[in-house]
Structure formats: C-alpha cells, structure tokens
C-alpha cells in the first residue's frame, strides 16, 4: 500500500475503537467523498483546537466560553445532570426530555486505569454548585453516570462529596439495565430513567 494511505490509516487507528482493518475501510470510504467535503473535513480537523473547545461551566463542547446549553435562557440552570462523557450528554439531549443543564466529568472513577477523582471535573462541580447555592436554595443534582461498576463508584463518591452542600441529589431510575450505558440506552429507556429519577 502506498505511503500516503498507510499514514492516514495509522492516524485513524489512533481513535478509540478503531483497529487497522476498520481504519482501512474508513480511508477507502473517504476516497468516495467529493473533494469539497474532504477539504472541509481536513480544514475542520486542522482547526479543532483553535478557540475555545470546552464550556468553562459544564465541559461540554463549546465554540464560545459557554456551550449553547449553558448559555440558553430556556434551560433550567438549577437542575444539573452529571454525566461521564459528552456522548452521554448528547444521548440525553436527543430525548428532549431534560430541560436542565449538564456537568461532564470526563470519565468515571477507575483507579486501575489511572482515572482518579482528581482527574475528573469533580472539584469544578463542587465549585459550581456552591456558587449556584448562593443564588437559590433549590438545586437538584441528577447523577447520570453509567449503571456499571465504575459509574456506580463515581455516583457514590459524588454523593459523599456533595452531601455537605445540602442540595437535592437524585439518580437516574433503574430502568437502565445494570452494566449498560447512558450513551447507548434507547430513548424511551432514558426518558423513563429521567422521569422516575429519585
Ligand atoms: Zn456548558
């Protein structure tokens, strides 16, 4: 295989869940794209780190200081759903059933792979809630971590950390099968889990 394809395949292989075989398929698929799309794609990749990348409030993707959700006056800023990843946020957004805001931790507690509480945006969450509590006593934090071991560990840890702040803490209802994930839950399950949170 030519060098230019080999290099591109290597880059794609660095992405999570992509092996060399899949990377090859991606490159072959892109050969079918119109040149204009390829140019736009490469320009976007080149500029991916220009300007703000993450919301300073919730750590969602953002093109300004705050993401579109945090900046929206239509969203209830006193209801904060704590999720592990941006993809979880996107799955919840797709349901349209949640009118609050989010806080993206950047993963779950998993000491075996070095994901310790200090590496997650937990201090930022505590700071954010303290600030919010000065404005209103009525704050709800919805722990929407994944229903697996690491997600549960994280939720328990957060409950301990947040208890002194005296906010209402709820969890997504058990509609989500244990061992599953927020990201891949189907919409109806996720809507129910939100509706019956406690
Ligand atoms: Zn935000």
In angstroms, what is the span from residue 190 Cα to ligand 1's centroid? Answer: 21
8 Å CB contact between 22 and 8: no
Q: Give distance in angstroms: CA of 69 to centre of ligand 1.
A: 6
Q: Are residues 127 and 34 in the same domain?
A: no
What CATH number is given to the structural domain containing 153? 3.40.1360.10
Least confident piece of the model among 76-80, 98-102, 149-153: 149-153
Q: Locate 53 and state its tokens.
A: 């990348």
Alpha helix (H) ranges present in the chain? 3-13, 20-30, 35-46, 68-71, 86-95, 122-135, 149-162, 187-195
Looking at the structure, tell me whether residues 83 and 40 fall in a common domain: no
**Is residue 95 a part of any domain in this protein?**
yes
Q: What's the mean pLDDT when you consider all of the chain?
A: 91
Does residue 52 lie in a domain region?
no
Q: Number of structural domains, the chain? A: 2
Same domain, 97 and 153: yes
- Indicate whether 28 pLDDT > 90: yes
Query: Which pLDDT score is estimated for 174?
Result: 65
Q: What is the pTM of this model?
A: 0.78
**Contacts of 10 by beta carbon, 8 Å cutoff, 6+ apart:** 23
Residue 1 alpha carbon to ligand 1 centre in Å: 44
User: Within this chain, do residues 90 and 180 fall inside the same structural domain, yes or no?
Assistant: yes
173 band by pLDDT with thresholds 50, 70 and 90:
confident
- Within this chain, do residues 8 and 102 fall inside the same structural domain, yes or no? no
Rounded mean pLDDT of 95-108? 95
* 42 lies in the same domain as 79: no
CB atoms < 10 A from the CB of 91, how many? 20
pLDDT confidence of residue 194:
82
Answer whether residue 40 is part of any domain: yes
Q: How far is CA 166 from the centre of its chain?
A: 25
In a domain, 51, yes or no: no
Which CATH number fits the domain that encloses residue 12? Answer: 1.10.8.420
pLDDT-based confidence at residue 51 (cuts at 50, 70, 90): confident
Q: Are residues 101 and 42 in the same domain?
A: no
Query: Which of 182, 176, 180 minimizes the C-alpha distance to 196?
Result: 176
Q: Is 144 within a domain?
A: yes
* Domain that includes residue 180, residue range: 74-195
- How far does the centroid of ligand 1 lie from the alpha carbon of residue 3, in Å? 41
Domain shared by 123 and 185, yes or no: yes
Residue 165 has pLDDT above 80, yes or no: yes
Question: In angstroms, what is the span from residue 144 Cα to ligand 1's centroid?
Answer: 16
Q: What is the pLDDT of residue 26?
A: 95
Cα 21 to ligand 1 centroid, rounded to whole Å = 36
Measured in angstroms, how far is the CA atom of residue 54 from the centroid of ligand 1? 8
Do 187 and 128 share a domain, yes or no? yes
For residue 128, give the 3-state DSSP assignment: helix
Q: What's residue 195's pLDDT? A: 80
> Does an H or E element contain 170, and which?
strand 168-171
């Amino acid at each position: 295989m030519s060098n230019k394809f080999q290099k591109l395949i290597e880059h794609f292989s660095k992405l999570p869940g992509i092996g060399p075989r899949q990377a090859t398929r991606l490159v072959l698929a892109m050969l079918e794209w119109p040149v204009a799309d390829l140019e736009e794609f490469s320009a976007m990749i080149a500029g991916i780190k220009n300007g703000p990348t993450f919301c300073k409030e919730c750590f969602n993707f953002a093109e300004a200081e705050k993401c579109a959700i945090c900046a929206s006056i239509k969203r209830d800023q006193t209801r904060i759903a704590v999720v592990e990843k941006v993809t979880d946020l996107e799955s919840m957004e797709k349901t349209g059933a949640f009118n609050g805001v989010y806080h993206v931790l950047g993963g779950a507690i998993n000491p075996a792979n070095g994901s310790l509480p200090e590496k997650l945006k937990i201090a930022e969450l505590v700071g954010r809630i303290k600030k919010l509590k000065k404005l209103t006593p009525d704050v709800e934090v919805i722990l929407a971590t994944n229903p697996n071991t690491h997600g549960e560990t994280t939720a328990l840890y957060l409950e301990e950390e947040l208890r002194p702040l005296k906010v209402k803490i709820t969890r997504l209802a058990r509609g989500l099968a244990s061992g599953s994930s927020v990201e891949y839950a189907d919409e109806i399950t996720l809507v129910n889990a939100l509706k019956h949170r406690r």
